[in-house]
Structure 1
Amino acid sequence: MQNVVLGIDLGTSSVKIVMLNKQGELVGQCTQSYPLIEVKDNFVEQDPGVWVEQTIRGIEMLLQQVTDVIVEGISFSGQMHGLVMLSEQLQPLRNAILWNDTRTTSQCRLIKDTLGEKLYSITKNDALEGFTLPKLLWVKEHEPNIYEQLHMFVLPKDYLRFKLTGELCIEPSDAAGTLLFDMDNQSWSKEICASFNIPQTVCPPLVTSDQLVGYLLPKYKELFSQNSEISVYAGGADNACGALGAGIVNPRSALVSIGTSGVVLTPSDTARYVGNFIHSFSYLEKFSNYIMGVTLAAGESLRWYKSTFAPNLDFDNLLHEIEGIPIGSNGLLYTPYLFGERTPYGDANIRASFIGIKNTHHRSHFTRAIVEGITFSLKQCFDLLKEQNNQIEQIVCIGGAVKNEIWLQIVADIFGMPVSKLTNEQGPALGAAMIAGIGVGWFESYEQAVSICVETSRTLLPNMNNHQQYTKYFECYKLIYSETVSINDMLKNIVNEV
């Protein structure tokens, strides 16, 4: 019999649950998927009830796989920004509107026009379609009957935690992504709420990430067949938890995460507005911060490409084809703007492009162009972070790229820096489990948790000859946005006329 904690990561396409022991070893894991609800172009939603159902199913499966354990604590990570609206009876009023939903361009304009420079001084962020406040204002305008019933909003992981414990709360790493949060004072902004006639009471109570917020409800505790209570801790946003799970706890290191979206993140000494659609968010420790750039369709670009053009190939075989393709895919470039783009453009209208197609290109060239385009987009984010933090010496990569050595080497070559992969690459779920470990008293600090739970398995060095070639392609890549932005605006207008 061994004591363990659980980390639950509520992602965009699936919930992942990991089991961690006191020695920092993962003793079990389970993943359960769920669908997106794409009601029309730019609208992306999910049913919050499905999150709960699949999480419980995942816990049941994990406990069948790993027996003779006592679960001391549970904590959570989750997709950021998503809006879950609750009635007075604490029932969802509609489907959750997700981070990659971009219907709220006009609401973002309203926020900027109303708040002006105060937006940046209070939130340290730009108004972007993915954030929570624009979604709230969209519902207020387009679904007033639903908005009028709003008692409180929460973010995805906080809804899941509420259903398992009966306790409603949010912590700063997720609150910072709502555009309703005062970063300097680590509190809800009275000024922003008042500017849009939003009662501050609809904002959930604030707690810290490793704070004990409750215990598992009896009907769910029964799953574990143990007498002792199961403590539940607040947790954090997926990017913050992913950074913790990768050992990113000081400004000398940066995270490159390639999931559905792509993220480049580094800790920051202060909360400050950076510009260029770089986000400034709260980290997991009180008064700690990080800055982050985002590519909206990173792994999603490869998933879309495979399902559309190579549905019968698995990802391993698809990526194996790119090994013999030269750098730059023989003059073929891809921009991963399937949903628009976050950093550095903040443009919901821009769309993806293949540039340079010729009759000598085959599927393998397009596959490599997809991989290189995703990585170029992340390099744009990294260069902007490096301007703010020139201490970065180490890159840790998690997500899709680490599963393929060719792609990981492409990251090292395009960035021109050593790139490390981890022995146990479990991302946000591991970070959530580490928070639970801190909560139950296993680890004295986030740094100690990292020293025990996180291990580098390999570091790939860049081929500087390849880096020089990639630099030339990267300069071409950066021109594509400005050369296609007006075309995409025209195309959107034509489509909207039909």
Structure 2
Amino acid sequence: MKYVIGIDLGTSAVKILLVNQKGDVVQEVSKSYPSIHEKTGYSEQDPGRWVNQTVAGLSDLLKTFDGNVEDIEGISFSGQMHGLVLLDEENDVLRNAILWNDTRTTEQCQQIYNAVGKKRLLEITKNPALEGFTLPKILWVKEHEPEIYKEINKFVLPKDYLRYKLTGELHMEYSDAAGTLLLDVERKTWSEEICDVLDINVDICPPLVESHAEVGTITSEIAASTGLSPKTRVFAGGADNACGAIGSGILEDGKTLCSIGTSGVVLSHESSSDKNFDGKVHYFNHGVTNAYYTMGVTLSAGHSLSWFKNVFAEGESFEELLAEVSSVPVGSNGLLFTPYLVGERTPHADAVIRASFIGMDSSHERRDFVRAVLEGITFSLNESIEIFRNKGKTIETIVSTGGGTKNEDWLQMQADIFNAKVIKLSSEQGPGMGAAMLAAYGCGWSNSLQECAENFLTIDKEFEPNEQHVRKYEKLFQVYKEVYQQTKTINQKLVEYRK
């Protein structure tokens, strides 16, 4: 039996999957590392920790592997997007990595708009200037740490640095590069225009490769440290959301992913780069050659349910909390929830807005509130789906992953609100599986990623929309959309009273 390894470099831990030719996860290892928060809004990590924990995880995996290490043919990567890793001429790290969830760069986002123009930025990068992206971080270092900025030879993203330390080869692939605000997404080249107007040397941008590209083999040092064969082939990998899409089979038009974790993501496959979403959703290069994906984000998806449980049902399991959801009718007996606990991203990029329960009366019980929370999260995700459909996208099938798959009543609710067939996969490994599939495809196990998905992924259950519920939810969704505008000014006035 042959094997590949998928390495998912997340925000809190690196997850390593050993996958065989049937798509079975044979072994799984996770190693955590801390973030550094020196000030409010700052979020950094030591890139050395990523490397050390990945090597330790690979070593642990090999210690319990009873096969021939020569049969582990390839490795590929998934990684947290947008994080800035700065390297000097020796490719040594110049400072801690600034992560995707660091929000210090509001002024730099405005600088980008002033220099490039909002319209031109969207034409080139397909995305607005947001604090999480990489380019604003580079400008922040340029302004606040000029001595470090002078030493920059290359910048890379988190998984790219990890891959470099495993292979000695430095690259960036398109799906992650698309989240920097420096890539011409359609032409698949670094934008010299953006670099010029912002006085950034385009030479700090690394060479670009495809996600399935073979970039080398592991070094002899890494082989000795982990127990892997020095012949192990290494493939570029992809951004976490691109790999999550690959690992869920979102590889053709009409297929969409709904991933509910702490935040929620609605991601849809795009075969071309010529659609115009006016910056309302993200538009990135896919891990599939010459393909793209559009993505909307709900900041407080699973977090809204976790918050409710921690505040009102501490000590209970999620299963207990959701046990009576099916006994509550569509619309939660007139109770509506908006999941803006930490602001919102799509379609409202608003850091000030906060959550609301609307329509409470003394007849409501806890189960009504629980269903209202689930409906509100799903309504927020549906706003992204509505944007896609309004631009002519056909969305017929949605693969649901994450916390939203743990309860079948919620899966049926998704089918009803999205008015689409919702699929639950038998095995859900997300980005790590996507990385493994890129390695498997690179090793020649399949003729395409689509064929690899057919071999690796199986459907557990399908949920068809209930037409009666669909009609009710369509009407209620219009009410839901009113709440943001009705509460926006009120929340702005409440800011001074927040902690």
Q: Same fold (TM over 0.5)?
A: yes
Q: Relative to 1, partners in 2 of residues 1:199 and 1:306: Cα closer, same or farther, differing over 3 Å?
A: farther
Question: 1:80 aligns to what?
Answer: 81
- Give the 5 Å matches for 1:50-89: 50-69=49-68, 70-89=71-90
Question: SS state of the match for residue 255, structure 1?
Answer: strand
Partners of 2:382 and 2:101 in 1: how far apart?
Answer: 21
- Give the 5 Å matches for 1:58-457: 58-69=57-68, 70-116=71-117, 117-225=119-227, 227-272=229-274, 273-457=276-460
Partners of 2:418 and 2:52 in 1: how far apart?
Answer: 41
Answer whether contact 2:74 2:443 (CA < 8 A) is retained.
yes
- How much has 1:41 moved relative to structure 2? 4.2
Answer whether contact 1:280 1:291 (CA < 8 A) is retained.
yes
Q: Relative to 1, partners in 2 of residues 1:383 and 1:238: Cα closer, same or farther, differing over 3 Å?
A: same
Partners of 1:89 and 1:254 in 2: how far apart?
Answer: 42
Partners of 1:321 and 1:396 in 2: how far apart?
Answer: 25
Cα deviation digits, residues 190-247 of structure 1 (max 9, x gap): 0101111111122122111111112222233235535451111100111111111111
Question: SS state of the match for residue 253, structure 2?
Answer: coil
Amino acid at match of 2:106: T
Question: 1:18 aligns to what?
Answer: 17
Amino acid at match of 2:173: E
- How much has 1:307 moved relative to structure 2? 4.3
- TM-score, length of structure 1 as denominator length: 0.91
Answer whether contact 1:9 1:76 (CA < 8 A) is retained.
yes
Question: SS state of the match for residue 43, structure 1?
Answer: coil
Question: 2:2 aligns to what?
Answer: 3
- How much has 1:423 moved relative to structure 2? 1.6
Mean Cα deviation higher: 105-114 or 320-329: 320-329
Partners of 2:140 and 2:335 in 1: how far apart?
Answer: 39
Partners of 1:393 and 1:261 in 2: how far apart?
Answer: 23
- How much has 1:310 moved relative to structure 2? 4.2
Partners of 2:460 and 2:428 in 1: how far apart?
Answer: 10
Answer whether contact 1:102 1:348 (CA < 8 A) is retained.
no
- How much has 1:136 moved relative to structure 2? 2.0
Mean Cα deviation higher: 187-196 or 356-365: 356-365
Mean Cα deviation higher: 263-272 or 53-62: 53-62
Partners of 1:270 and 1:66 in 2: how far apart?
Answer: 42
Cα deviation digits, residues 447-489 of structure 1 (max 9, x gap): 2212211221210112222223322332222122212222333
Q: Relative to 1, partners in 2 of residues 1:468 and 1:492: Cα closer, same or farther, differing over 3 Å?
A: same
**Equivalent of 1:472, from 472, 475, 480?**
475
Partners of 1:165 and 1:355 in 2: how far apart?
Answer: 55
RMSD: 2.5
Question: SS state of the match for residue 320, structure 1?
Answer: coil
Q: Relative to 1, partners in 2 of residues 1:376 and 1:32: Cα closer, same or farther, differing over 3 Å?
A: farther
Amino acid at match of 1:301: S
1:483 counterpart = 2:486: yes
Amino acid at match of 2:104: R
Cα deviation digits, residues 111-133 of structure 1 (max 9, x gap): 22221222111112222222111
Q: Percent identical across equivalent pairs?
A: 51
- How much has 1:295 moved relative to structure 2? 1.6
Answer whether contact 2:219 2:230 (CA < 8 A) is retained.
no
Amino acid at match of 1:75: S
- How much has 1:420 moved relative to structure 2? 0.5
Structure 1, unaligned stretches of length 5 or more? none
Answer whether contact 2:16 2:29 (CA < 8 A) is retained.
yes
Answer whether contact 2:212 2:237 (CA < 8 A) is retained.
yes
Partners of 2:409 and 2:37 in 1: how far apart?
Answer: 33
Partners of 1:23 and 1:467 in 2: how far apart?
Answer: 38
- How much has 1:159 moved relative to structure 2? 1.9
Question: SS state of the match for residue 172, structure 2?
Answer: coil
- How much has 1:4 moved relative to structure 2? 0.4
- How much has 1:289 moved relative to structure 2? 1.4
Question: SS state of the match for residue 412, structure 1?
Answer: helix
Mean Cα deviation higher: 261-270 or 190-199: 261-270
Q: Relative to 1, partners in 2 of residues 1:95 and 1:300: Cα closer, same or farther, differing over 3 Å?
A: farther
Partners of 1:428 and 1:187 in 2: how far apart?
Answer: 25
Answer whether contact 1:6 1:73 (CA < 8 A) is retained.
yes
Answer whether contact 1:172 1:208 (CA < 8 A) is retained.
yes
Q: Relative to 1, partners in 2 of residues 1:437 and 1:32: Cα closer, same or farther, differing over 3 Å?
A: same
Q: Relative to 1, partners in 2 of residues 1:148 and 1:365: Cα closer, same or farther, differing over 3 Å?
A: farther
Q: How many residues align?
A: 495
Mean Cα deviation higher: 10-19 or 84-93: 84-93
Amino acid at match of 2:252: N
Amino acid at match of 1:108: C
Answer whether contact 2:223 2:230 (CA < 8 A) is retained.
no
Amino acid at match of 1:141: E
Q: Relative to 1, partners in 2 of residues 1:351 and 1:151: Cα closer, same or farther, differing over 3 Å?
A: farther
Cα deviation digits, residues 270-295 of structure 1 (max 9, x gap): 21341152111111233221222122
Partners of 1:123 and 1:326 in 2: how far apart?
Answer: 44
Answer whether contact 2:251 2:288 (CA < 8 A) is retained.
no
Answer whether contact 1:276 1:345 (CA < 8 A) is retained.
no
Question: 1:43 aligns to what?
Answer: 42
Answer whether contact 2:81 2:100 (CA < 8 A) is retained.
yes
Amino acid at match of 2:404: A
Answer whether contact 1:251 1:389 (CA < 8 A) is retained.
no
